[in-house]
Structures are given as structure tokens and as C-alpha cells.
């Protein structure tokens, strides 16, 4: 609730009466939070920061170190420094472009943090018993104490990294393209579905798939039996592409792609993945054994998966699953041996 006379935001009204509590209740956070939450607030409320300086800014000698600190009190009696509120004002000054003041306050907070055990956090207040002007549910005065406080520490961190929780700047994480290996049959069209992830588990983003290289032989198309893609990069109309080999060519093929999400690049975000490979092997025998592997290890690709050409007790399928095989000295088949 804005009071024009003093240029301050007030605490509000009582629960039972529609009247201002401003004469006795002028908390700092109605100034700091308003500064952080309302865009371009100084154009309509130019007195706001002056209110905080006039009614809440104070200095205090910290007893254990004899250091003098400058900061802000919770209310306008200025009987002590509220470190949580001081961190809020630090961030407010930063967000409103008054960097010099923000940096000076951040230094005060850093010095205050050094007083905590091992510098591990920030106290709620610089001393015990700082008043707030409010009461507890039992009617006792609500006071602030020199105790480690998660909110004070959190606000100091946000001030340090310049993060405004009332106006978060969402940063888009880089999406990821999924590499994959597929198996084709010579001169038979193969449907390949490209996949990826937007990299932001809390969001659901639309992905575009970008073809960045083509197979050295064979063709890719965007539709079944469609025209061959001849130039890259190409943003695909769909995540599905179709591959068909060159005639009588079963050499391993690869092409590359990347994905782009719709999260944008604001605030240092990344919307495009690195490139990943799609590897195409051939299995003309359709026996689960790639032709290139059969050719290298057994001289040709005409064996069936349950054959055992080297009589070692292992079928072709078992050898293939072991990836690498040892050929015994009695094996009569091999490169040039057929």
C-alpha cells in the first residue's frame, strides 16, 4: 500500500479494520520487494529508495570485532541492522542500476558473513534482539537475533549472483541430440527416426532436427521414396528421414544431425545441440549379423546366424555378440580363402 506523503510502501491494514498501520508499521521489505517486483518502479515511485535510506538505513558497531557496519533495519526505529533486509536492498540497488551502492552493501554483507562460524552463512541480524514492530501469536514482541539464517544467507547469495527471484531470468539449457546405430539392407529403403531431448526437464519444448552432413554414398530423403536431399545444413520438416543405399554398396555409412529447441538464447541460454552421428550398417542376409563384420571376419556375408564355419563350437551369432573373435589355426576360410 503506497503512502504518497512519505513516499513509502506501508505494511497494509489490520485484519479487522480497514485502516492503515503505517504510523507504527513501516517494514523495510515492503520497499525492497516492491523495488524488485515492479518493473521500472522508479518512474512511478521515484521516492522509494529515499524512503528506505531515510527510515531504515543505520550503522552499528559489532561488539566482537569492533567493526562498524552500515545496513538497514527491519523497521523505522533503526535499533540494529537486519542483514536479510540489507541483502534485499543490495539486490534492489543492483537491479535498479545503482551498482556502486549495491557493491558497497555487498561488501558489508561479506564482512558480516566472516563473523559466522567458518564464514558459512549470514546471521539474521548483526546482534540479538533487533525489534521489528510486530508481535508473535502469543503477544510477545517479534525480534531478530544473531543466528545463522537461511533466508539471510539466501538473499546474500542472490545479491552476489544478481538473481532477482521476483523476475527470474530463465536460462535455456542446451538440448541434446541422440546418437544411434541402425541396420539396413542394400537397396531397400530404411526409415530412421531421429531423437533428442530439450535439456530442460521442467519444461516441454518443441524440437527441430537439423541435418548437418550426408552419407558418403546412398541417399537420404524427407519422405518415403522422395527426392534425395542434396545440400546441408537442412532443417527437416519432421524427425523422420529415409535412407536408401547406393547399388551394390554395403559399406558402413554415417551422417550427422543436431537438434534445436524453442527456448531461445536470452541470458546466455543455448538452443542448439552439438552434432551427433547416425551410423548405418548393412545386413543383407537379414540374419542379425552386419555384412561388414561377416566380410572382415569370415570372407563373405553368405553365412547364416547359426553356422559355425571355423568349427569352434560358437555360432556366427555368438561370435558376433562377442564383437571380436579369435580364429583358430585349423580354420580354412578367411580373406581370399573362399
- Does 167 reside within a domain? no
- Does 72 reside within a domain? yes
Concatenated DSSP letters for 93-119? HHHTT-HHHHHHHHHHHHHHHTTSGGG
Tens digit of each residue's pLDDT (9 = 90 or more) over 22-42: 455 789 999 999 999 998 899
Domain of residue 110 covers 2-161
**Same domain for 125 and 31:** yes
In terms of Cα–Cα distance, which of 311, 293, 298 is closest to 338? 298
DSSP helix/strand/coil, 161: helix
Element (H, E) at 49: helix 48-55
Give this prediction's pTM. Answer: 0.55
Taking a C-beta distance cutoff of 8 angstroms, is the pair 155, 92 a contact?
A: no
Residue 268: is it exposed, middle or buried by C-beta count within 10 angstroms (0-12/13-18/19+)?
Answer: exposed
- Does 168 reside within a domain? no
- Does 28 reside within a domain? yes
- Does 337 reside within a domain? no
**Same domain for 154 and 69:** yes
pLDDT band at 305 (very low <50, low <70, confident <90, very high): low
What CATH number did the domain enclosing 279 receive? Answer: 2.60.40.10
Q: Alpha-carbon distance 8 to 29, whole Å?
A: 11
Cell numbers standing for residue 327: 580364429
Tens digit of each residue's pLDDT (9 = 90 or more) over 148-163: 999 999 999 999 989 8
**Same domain for 298 and 180:** yes
- Does 335 reside within a domain? no
**Same domain for 204 and 155:** no
Count structural domains, the chain.
Answer: 2
pLDDT band at 170 (very low <50, low <70, confident <90, very high): confident
Cell numbers standing for residue 39: 518493473
**Same domain for 191 and 154:** no
- Does 170 reside within a domain? no
**Same domain for 127 and 201:** no
Taking a C-beta distance cutoff of 8 angstroms, is the pair 209, 239 a contact?
A: yes
Taking a C-beta distance cutoff of 8 angstroms, is the pair 126, 83 a contact?
A: yes
**Same domain for 246 and 288:** yes
- Does 127 reside within a domain? yes
**Same domain for 141 and 269:** no
pLDDT at 248: 81
**Same domain for 125 and 216:** no
Q: Alpha-carbon distance 69 to 123, whole Å?
A: 14
Amino acid at each position: 500500500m503506497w503512502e504518497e506523503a512519505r513516499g513509502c510502501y506501508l505494511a497494509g491494514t489490520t485484519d479487522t479494520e480497514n485502516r492503515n498501520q503505517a504510523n507504527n508499521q513501516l517494514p523495510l521489505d515492503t520497499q525492497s520487494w516492491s523495488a524488485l517486483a515492479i518493473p521500472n518502479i522508479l518512474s512511478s515511485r521515484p521516492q522509494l529508495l529515499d524512503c528506505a535510506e531515510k527510515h531504515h538505513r543505520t550503522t552499528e558497531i559489532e561488539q566482537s570485532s569492533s567493526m562498524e557496519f552500515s545496513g538497514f533495519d527491519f523497521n523505522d526505529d533503526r535499533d540494529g541492522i537486519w542483514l536479510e533486509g540489507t541483502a534485499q536492498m543490495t539486490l534492489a540497488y543492483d537491479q535498479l542500476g545503482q551498482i556502486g551502492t549495491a557493491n558497497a552493501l555487498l561488501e558489508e554483507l561479506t564482512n558480516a558473513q566472516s563473523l559466522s562460524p567458518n564464514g558459512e552463512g549470514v546471521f539474521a541480524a548483526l546482534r540479538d534482539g533487533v525489534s521489528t514492530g510486530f508481535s508473535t501469536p502469543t503477544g510477545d514482541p517479534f525480534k531478530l537475533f544473531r543466528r545463522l539464517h537461511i533466508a539471510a544467507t539466501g538473499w546474500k547469495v542472490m545479491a552476489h549472483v544478481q538473481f532477482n527471484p521476483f523476475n527470474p531470468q530463465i536460462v535455456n539449457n542446451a538440448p541434446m541430440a541422440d546418437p544411434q546405430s541402425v541396420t539396413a539392407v542394400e537397396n531397400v529403403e530404411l526409415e530412421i527416426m531421429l531423437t533428442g531431448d530439450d535439456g530442460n526437464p521442467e519444461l516441454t519444448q518443441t524440437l527441430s532436427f537439423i541435418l548437418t552432413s550426408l552419407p558418403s554414398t546412398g541417399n537420404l530423403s524427407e519422405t518415403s521414396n522422395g527426392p534425395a536431399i542434396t545440400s546441408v545444413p537442412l532443417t527437416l520438416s519432421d524427425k523422420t528421414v529415409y535412407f536408401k543405399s547406393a547399388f551394390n554398396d554395403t559399406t558402413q555409412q554415417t551422417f550427422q544431425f543436431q537438434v534445436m529447441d524453442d527456448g531461445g538464447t536470452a541470458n546466455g541460454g543455448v538452443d542448439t545441440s552439438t552434432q551427433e552421428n547416425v551410423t548405418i550398417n548393412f545386413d543383407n542376409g537379414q540374419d542379425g549379423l552386419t555384412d561388414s563384420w561377416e566380410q572382415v571376419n569370415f570372407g563373405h556375408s553368405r553365412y547364416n546366424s547359426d553356422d559355425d564355419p571355423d568349427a569352434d563350437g560358437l555360432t556366427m551369432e555368438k561370435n558376433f555378440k562377442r564383437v571380436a573373435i579369435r580364429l583358430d589355426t585349423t580354420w580354412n576360410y578367411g580373406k581370399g580363402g573362399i
